[in-house]
Chain A
Amino acid sequence: MTPLLLIEQCLNGLQFGVMLFLMAAGLTLVFGVMGLINLAHGSLFMTGAFAAAFVARTTGSFTLALVAALAAAAAAGALVEVAIIRRLYDRPHLDQVLATFALILIFSEGTRWLFGSFPLYLDIPEALSGTVMLPGGIAYSLYRLTLIGVGLLVAAGLYVLISRTRLGIQVRAGESDREMIAALGVDISRLYTIVFALGAALAGLAGALIGAIQSVQVGMGEPVLILAFVVIVIGGIGSIKGAFIGSLLVGLTDTLGGVLLPELFALFMPRADAASAGAALASMSIYLLMAVVLVVRPAGLFGVRT
């Protein structure tokens, strides 16, 4: 365990964290503003990845693929919101879970029907491949650095959107009291569709960016969705700042846990046992983190007790 490896893993954890933030931001907005648990968020992640893979294959341009991912996920989100989600706002959470779970199945089978069961090809563009030399002699992947940059940019953009724009005011007001802002003349339905589509677009962007370094296949969104839920519970429902801090915490804990825990166990266990024990504990580490946070702050780090 050299310092170089540790720094590199910290960067990996940071990259993982900001990508989780793209997912968690949409999820927490939808939960905070509309009070809706959306399990289909992972499917929107998958939709973005598939749209990007398809467009990259037909046009050869990664930029167009990203635009397609944003557009496809936003469109899918808006469509799903108008057609189905709209009917779920006044229903209890369990109904929402059941309905959005059904959406997962519909999205998955629909994608399989359109694209087949085999994973699709999506690769990082030539311009972003290779490594860059960071201070300290660390050769780090340029694409991952770009992901960190994109994630931070989106975070800054969301901050500006929520705190400085009219839409942001409406979103914040809607989180506090949605009946009041409807009474004040804000078109609630339109606001909800926009918020849902925005969350969906962010998920789609994450899907396209991650799909380039992982695999684009049906069901790729569900593992990320689970992590996103952990993030918003840690960060506090409805809080973008909470989603940001929470996602960085989860990203770093998961990555560093996976690297350091086997090393820790190797100090007093044979290598093979240490590797499996360490891996097992590492996969639990983010849930342990969530449990600790909930004990100390039951509403999450930046959550508001309602």
Chain B
Amino acid sequence: MFFFLPGGMGISFLKQYDNSGIDLPVVGPAFSFDQGILQAVGKAALGVRNTSQWNKDIDNPTNAAFVDSFQEAYGRLPSLYASQGFDTANLLLSATKVADVTDRDAFRTALEAADFDSTRGDFAFAANHHPIQDLYVREVVEEEGVYTNRILGLALEDHVDAYVGECTM
């Protein structure tokens, strides 16, 4: 059973689904199972598979440093939203290194180049400015009393947005 309900709605749904006694396995995108809301769902989320472009156990130095420094600063594991914020900030910084913000065309080209170390590993923009990235299948697990996700495997490698061929940019 596939669903996509972020935030509070996802918490409500998962708790009620778990209590309903239906045993169809649940699948959804990572936004319904992100680090911020998993603790509120509790064991109702255990074992659920979800897909995401990022998880804390992606094996590259940037991600490892990000997760460690986030935990040290805030005392909790980062969510995928945090990783997106981190990547965006680094992208902007990488662009400001080579171009001035007021020079729009140069800055845009610098952004398109995406020459920065991403927590997701390889990162590039496609012609329609959607990312080309790997998508992973994750499973909700419990680690040391905290509910989090664990990568099961790679779902799609270097995945591009489906409409890139129709983009006129």
Which A residues have a C-beta under 8 Å from some C-beta of B? 118-124, 129-131, 139, 141, 143, 212-217, 220
Q: In whole angstroms, what is the CA distance A141 to B19 when docked?
A: 7
B1-30 vs A, CB cutoff 8 Å, 1 = contact: the mask equals: 000000111011001100111000000000
Cβ contact of A119, chosen from B8, B19, B21, cutoff 8 A: B8
Indicate if the CB atoms of B8 and A220 lie closer than 8 Å.
yes
Cβ contact of A217, chosen from B8, B16, B42, cutoff 8 A: B8
CB within 8 Å for A139 and B21 given contacts A118-B39, A118-B40, A121-B39: yes
Indicate if the CB atoms of A121 and B40 lie closer than 8 Å.
yes
Indicate if the CB atoms of A141 and B8 lie closer than 8 Å.
no
CB closest residue in chain A, given B16: A213
Residues of B within 8 A of A217 (CB): 7-8, 40
In this assembly, does B36 line the interface, its C-beta being within 8 Å of a C-beta of chain A? yes
Residues of A within 8 A of B42 (CB): 121, 123
Residues of B within 8 A of A121 (CB): 39-42
Residues of A within 8 A of B40 (CB): 118-122, 215-217
Q: In whole angstroms, what is the CA distance A245 to B95 when docked?
A: 62
Question: What total of chain B residues lie within 8 Å of the partner, measured CB to CB?
Answer: 17
CB closest residue in chain A, given B76: A118
CB closest residue in chain B, given A129: B19
In this assembly, does B48 line the interface, its C-beta being within 8 Å of a C-beta of chain A? no
Residues of A within 8 A of B114 (CB): none
CB closest residue in chain B, given A216: B40
Indicate if the CB atoms of B19 and A214 lie closer than 8 Å.
no
A–B complex contacts, Cβ < 8 Å, 17 sampled: A118-B37, A118-B39, A119-B37, A119-B40, A120-B40, A121-B39, A121-B41, A121-B42, A123-B44, A124-B19, A130-B21, A131-B20, A141-B16, A213-B19, A214-B8, A216-B40, A220-B8
Q: In whole angstroms, what is the CA distance A118 to B9 when docked?
A: 13
CB within 8 Å for A213 and B12 given contacts A118-B37, A118-B40: yes
Indicate if the CB atoms of A130 and B19 lie closer than 8 Å.
yes
Please give 7 more A-B residue pairs, beta carbons under 8 A apart, in addition to A119-B8, A215-B8. Answer: A119-B40, A120-B40, A121-B41, A123-B44, A124-B15, A141-B16, A215-B9
Residues of A within 8 A of B15 (CB): 123-124, 212-214
Indicate if the CB atoms of B20 and A119 lie closer than 8 Å.
no
CB closest residue in chain B, given A118: B36
CB closest residue in chain A, given B10: A215
Residues of B within 8 A of A129 (CB): 19
The smallest beta-carbon distance between A211 and chain B, in angstroms, is: 10
The smallest beta-carbon distance between B69 and chain A, in angstroms, is: 20
CB within 8 Å for A131 and B21 given contacts A214-B12, A217-B8: yes
Q: In whole angstroms, what is the CA distance A215 to B37 when docked?
A: 9
CB closest residue in chain A, given B12: A214
Pairs A-B, 4 closest by C-beta atoms? A215-B11, A215-B8, A119-B40, A214-B12
Most chain B CB inside 10 Å of its own CB: which residue of A121, A129, A217: A121
